Amino acid sequence: MRKIAVVYSGNSAHYRTFNEPKYRKFIAELIYLPDLLEASLENYDVLIVPSQLNERLLLGAKEKILAFAEQGGVVAAFGPQPWEWLPNQKWEERETNFWWWKEKGASSGLVLAAPQHDLFNYITLEDATWHQHGVFWPVNGAEKLITTEDGGAVLYVDKISTEGTWIVTTLDPDYHFGSYFMPATERFLDGFLPWLAQGKIS
């Protein structure tokens, strides 16, 4: 099983999510964000970078996270990321429709772009469906797993930009589960964390 570390902000949503027993069993360490620069990552295979982090501290740790990936590590990034710390980042902000599901003939606008990918042995498209904050336009050669109908990436895997693997999603299950709303986010984490620990990421 891969050893997973989580960058931890200490906010209430992160506290609840990453200390939930069924998720905590997959996590070897919570690394407090202000301590990240001094922390050793050499014993970990995966680093989760959640949503809702402090911008200044996250950007200050950019080179540390990139170095982890260059050494073959897996970085999983949650949530909209308007700050440029991801490799080859091309983020497009879009208006968020929190109530799309109430509209007549409602459609989330999400598409499984790679239904054969191993991740979808652990989650379904419905488990990754709540609302969207924007999309990424990843580097050529990255694999889009979930997209909008116009091809913007909501979840993608980038094995091109560094020696390691980047699993990047606009989704923010850590925030919503930890804030006690959006049932789909619990289903997402129920599958995503076991996949990170045990699944076929490549």
Note the pLDDT of residue 100: 47
Tokens of 193: 């964390």
Q: What is the pLDDT along the chain (202 residues), one digit of tens a residue?
A: 999 999 999 999 999 999 999 999 999 999 999 999 999 999 999 999 999 999 999 999 999 999 999 999 999 999 988 788 999 989 997 666 554 455 665 556 799 999 999 999 999 999 999 877 889 999 999 999 999 989 999 999 999 999 999 999 999 999 989 988 888 999 999 999 999 999 998 6
Contact 159, 201 (CB under 8 A): no
Rounded Cα distance between 34 and 136, Å, is 27
Domain boundaries, the chain: 4-198
Of 3.40.50.880, 3.30.720.120, 3.30.70.100, 1.10.3720.10, the CATH number of 4-198 is: 3.40.50.880
CA-nearest of 78, 68, 60 to 42 is 68
Note the pLDDT of residue 102: 53
Rounded Cα distance between 185 and 202, Å, is 24
Rounded Cα distance between 78 and 170, Å, is 6
Note the pLDDT of residue 20: 97
